[in-house]
Structures are given as C-alpha cells and as structure tokens.
Amino acid sequence: MEIRHRLAGPAGTLHTLLVRLRLWASARLWALRSARARRHLRAHTRGLRPVSCGPLRLYGRTVADYTAADAAAADLGSVSHLLETAGIPYFLVPSDPRDGAPRHVVGVEESHRDQVLERAARHLARTGGYVGAVGPDGDVTTAVLWADGRLPRALRRAPVLRTGVVRLGPAGQVLGGLEAGCDIEFWRYGRESAATASTDPAWLTVPGRQLADVFGTALIAPRRNPVSEVLPVTARQPARSAAPRGVPTFAPFAEPGMHEVRFPIDAVYTWVDGDEPAMAAKRRAHQERSAGVIAARETGASRYTSHDELRYALRSLRMYAGFIRHVYLVTDSQIPDWLDPEAEGLTVVDHREILPADALPVFNSHAIESRLHHIPGLSERYLYFNDDVFINRPVRAEHFFYGNGVARIPLSPMKLGVGAPHPLEPAPNSAGKNAREVIRRFHGRYVTHKSLHTPHPQLMSVMREMESHGIEELERTSYSRFRSVGDVAPVSTLHHHWAIATGRAVPADYRYRYVQLGTEDMERRLDRLAAGEDVDFFCLNDVDTAPADRAAAHAAIRRFLERKYPFPSRFERRAQTPSHPGAAGASGPRGRGIWRETCP
C-alpha cells in the first residue's frame, strides 16, 4: 500500500523513491561483500559496536569522554598525521563560522588522490573509522568502513570525502556520527577544470574556454568556502592557522574573517533547590504575605523543584559550546552537592552579591535577571541560561553574536497578545507586555513577539543603559519577591527589543524544541530528541506538574539526560557521578526500542 501510494504521488516522488531504494540496495550489497573484513576488524579491535546510519551499516567506537571540539581536533589530527607521514602536502580550508559543526576541512591537490586513498586505507583500516562521500548539501551520501577494502566508485571519485570515527557513549548511544569527522577536498588546477567549468562548478564567473588561460596554474576548489574558491600562485604563500593552532594553510586562509567572533563570551546560570527544607520554609513564610499577585501556577512547587537539570545543562555546555570562557552560577546561599565550587572556570555568585539587601530574599527569576550585569568580572557579551535549557548539538560563538558584536536574538513566533497584563495569563506574557510599554515609551516601537526559551545573548552595555534611565518597571522588578503582573522580562523581551531598537541586535533563527514535563506528549518529544532531532537547543520546563506525576516525570527526564550527556563536566565532584542507566542493553531502560544505536 505504501509503495502504491508513493507511485501515485506527485512528479519526482517516484524518482526519489527509486534513488533511495538504489542507495539502500547498494549499501546492503557492500555490507555483504565486506562482512568478512568487518568480522576481522571487530575481533581485533576492542570497543567497536555496530551502528546504523540510515541504510549504512558502520561501526562506532565506545569512548571514555566526549566533547565535539575534542572529537573534531582528533579527526583532524588523524588526517594530518596520515598526510604528513606520506609526504602529501595539504592545507587547512576555512569553514563557515556560522556552521554549528566544529568540523575541519583540509585541501589536497587532485593529483594526490590515489596516494591519499591508498595510504588511508592502509593506516585507518584498523581503527574502525569510516570514509564517506560528501554531497552538495554537506551531508554524507554514502559511507563505508576503511576496513571494507576497495572503495566503491562513488567514493573513489568524490570531490569531497569525510573520514572519522562514529563515537559512542557507554550505553552505545551515538555521540558524534557522520555529521562530524574531517573533510578532505580535492582541489584541481585551472587547466584541469576548464573542460567542465561551463557547468561545474557554477560559481566561476570566467567562461570555461578562458579558464585555462586565466587560471591555468590556480588551484580550484570543489565547493564553496568563506574566503575564495580560486587560489592563484601569488596567493599560495605558506602560513599557519591560528585555530586550530599551527596547521599548515595559505596566507588568505589564515586571516580572521568579518564574521569570526574574537571577543570573550561567558555563561550565566541561575539555580535554586526549592525542595531544600530551609529554603522551602523561607519561601512559604514570604509567600503567605504575597498571595494573590499572580496565578498560583507561577509560584507553585514545580517552579522551585530541582530535577538535577543543572548538572546536565553544564554537561551540554561542555560537550557542545567549547568557546565559553567562564561560567557564573547565581544561587541563594546554596550549591548542589555534586558541584565543585572550586572548579576551574566556575564562579558561584550569591544573590547578596548582586541584589540590594532590602530586596532579599527573592524567589522571582525576573528580579534576579534584572541584576545579572552586576556580577563582578562578567564579560560584556554573555549568554544567560535557565538551568532547564540544554544544548543539543555543537554550536559556535557566531550562533549568538556577529563578529562586530551585534547580538543574534531568539525571537519566538508566539505573540504576547494585546490588552493589559492579567494575573491569570502566563507570567512571560504579562512581563512582556510591561516591557512593551517601556520600549514604546523610550523608542516609539510596538513589541509583538515573545522570546524562545533558549540561551539568551546579553549585552552588558544594554542592561547598564536601561538601568541608568531609572526605568520604574525595571526597578520595581528588582524588588519583586515573587512573580507579579507588574514585572518586566529583563533579559528577554526588554533587553532584546532595547538592543534591536538601538541597533545592537537583530532577530535570528534558533532551532529549538520545548518539552513540558508531565504532559501527554512529553515522552514522544524526548524520544525525538534522543533519536537526534534537528534542533540546536531544547528546554525541559516544569510549569505545574501534578504531584502524582512528578516522580515519574523526574525519572523519565533523568534517564533521558543521563543517556544524552553521559560524561561529567569539570564542574562536578567526580565521586558523585551517577551510574549510567540502561548501560546493560541497547534497547534502553524503558524497553520501547527508542534508544537505537543509530546516527542522528
């Protein structure tokens, strides 16, 4: 029925189906032909496990630790060592800093292709590494293990190859798959490319018949890069790259680009354990005197319950955002028992250090956010995280800021609505409406959209400027002990739109997933994230989980997070690290088959 439906579909569907079937059949045939070599590889190489990447059947290597940056450096190191020991000249090709993957690219002259493949097959066959052909969209279209022996024609002729290792966590989960690795581009001389220049590559502006005369001795790239696809002899002065440090390249490729961020970026987290008896008693005592200012769901127990999210949020930061200079954790005379407050790169900041004494104690995130820019030593540009916000895959500093310092703002498609703030509406709506009034008063602009629950790029100069104006709503928020309809949203709606109105920020696209705890679709959304959903960030938000559902929700997200982020960050006391649930079997702790050993 499915095939009949696809055949009757719109034009092009049949062709797509046939292409997919052909790729699947080719991959299966290759796997059968190479079965003996794979059995030998697995028998003689420890730590390998079979994985599926779509129709492709590869092996992954179990690793003892993982960060995306370290993995990329290791893959580059393997390729560099291979080429250097073989005496094959190569050069680092710059990648787009706005591309999240920290993947490195090296260029090699086309004349060295056979030598590269022969040496690679000989030296990488015992590692369990793969080699794949990279398509025009940057994805791997087909891949095999180096141990499989002779490469298929599509790989032997591909203009760009990717090689690396599929890295697995302790329970067999894929941490880095075919989206990682190191790319090898085969560059041709102009005289070799002249015959196909009229159709490929399309980016050349010089007609093909003139290419040999104009660019005969120039090196021509097989695809785009941020600097230049044509390197004449005069531009090929040897140089060394700054990052990664010391890799051979050419002088134009070693220069910092306009988009590259070269200023420090810190991260700020806010955290509280509302279940701790003394904290809970203090909150109840003040809450009795503050009743009725806003809907009960905004001050309920779920708002202050710790599901240990911070531990895994910091792990996600370490795994996928290696550009962060320093982490500041803002708390109320508390630290998690697993946290090492003396860890390198971490500063614990108490509310007393940044909030007025007569505003304490405070149980309102809006009030705390209004004073984050008073943290001593904080960089001018920083990222603000709630402890329930996680990084899902590698991101770079350029995801949040342009090279000139302009912030990239995560505006939501959801609107604030119109009318006055109301105690029964969600607190972000009320706080956003109040911020809208501030922006209208100072800048004559009308704010319509909320912000996503993602990392928030912040400019200290914007926060200080707003504070210097003595904005009544902002000052009132600093003294708002609990969430109130009179609050503003300091680090989201107010900061973001003030920055946009003054030319210091622009809206940007953030790929994001929201998961609310205790809802019917919670497990389905977690399953999608576990399977490698195509998002940069996700939020596990506990809005008003029913007491009867809280224990089950807590257990589900703990299993998910431990599998997603299995390795401790440097901020943890190592003896406190929890065990890995589900490590005994690939089907996972829930037995529903969602923890498949597949590439995202």
**What is the model's pLDDT at position 425?**
86
What's the pLDDT at 285? 78
Residue 11 pLDDT? 47
- pLDDT value at residue 220: 94
pLDDT of residue 45: 62
Predicted local confidence at residue 544, as pLDDT: 64
Structure token pair of residue 2: 């499915």
Amino acid 520: pLDDT: 84
**Rounded CA separation 488/367 (Å):** 9
pLDDT score for 300: 54
Task: Classify residue 306 by its DSSP letter.
Answer: -
| 384: nearest Cα among 304, 328, 302 | 328
**Domain at 265-392+452-481+509-575, CATH from 3.30.70, 1.10.760, 3.10.450, 3.90.550:** 3.90.550
DSSP reduced 3-state for 577: coil
pLDDT of residue 268: 98
Single pTM value for the model:
0.85
Burial 12-30 (b: 16+ CB within 10 A, else e): eeeeeeeeeeebeeebeeb
Sheet-wide strand order for 166-168? 48-53, 56-62, 166-168, 174-176
Distances in Å between the Cα of 268 and the Cα atoms of 20, 453, 592 are: 45, 15, 37
Residue 240 · residue 228 · CB < 8 Å: no
Residue among 268, 267, 274 nearest 542 (CA): 274
Residues 243, 245, 248, 249, Cα dihedral to 10°: 20
pLDDT of res. 7: 37
Identify the residue whose tokens are 């009320």.
430
**What is the reported pLDDT for 464?**
98
By the 8 A CB rule, do 182 and 107 touch?
no
**Per-residue pLDDT, 6:** 36
Alpha carbons 291 and 162: distance in angstroms, whole number: 60
pLDDT of residue 583: 34
Cα–Cα distance measured from residue 163 to residue 242, given in angstroms and rounded to the nearest whole number: 23
Chunked in runs of 10, what are the mean pLDDT values of the chain (600 residues)?
39 60 59 56 68 84 95 96 96 84 92 94 86 90 84 90 95 92 94 51 48 72 94 94 93 93 97 80 75 54 68 97 97 94 97 95 94 98 97 96 97 93 87 97 96 97 98 96 92 98 96 89 91 92 71 88 96 66 32 43
Domain ranges of the chain: 27-254, 265-392+452-481+509-575
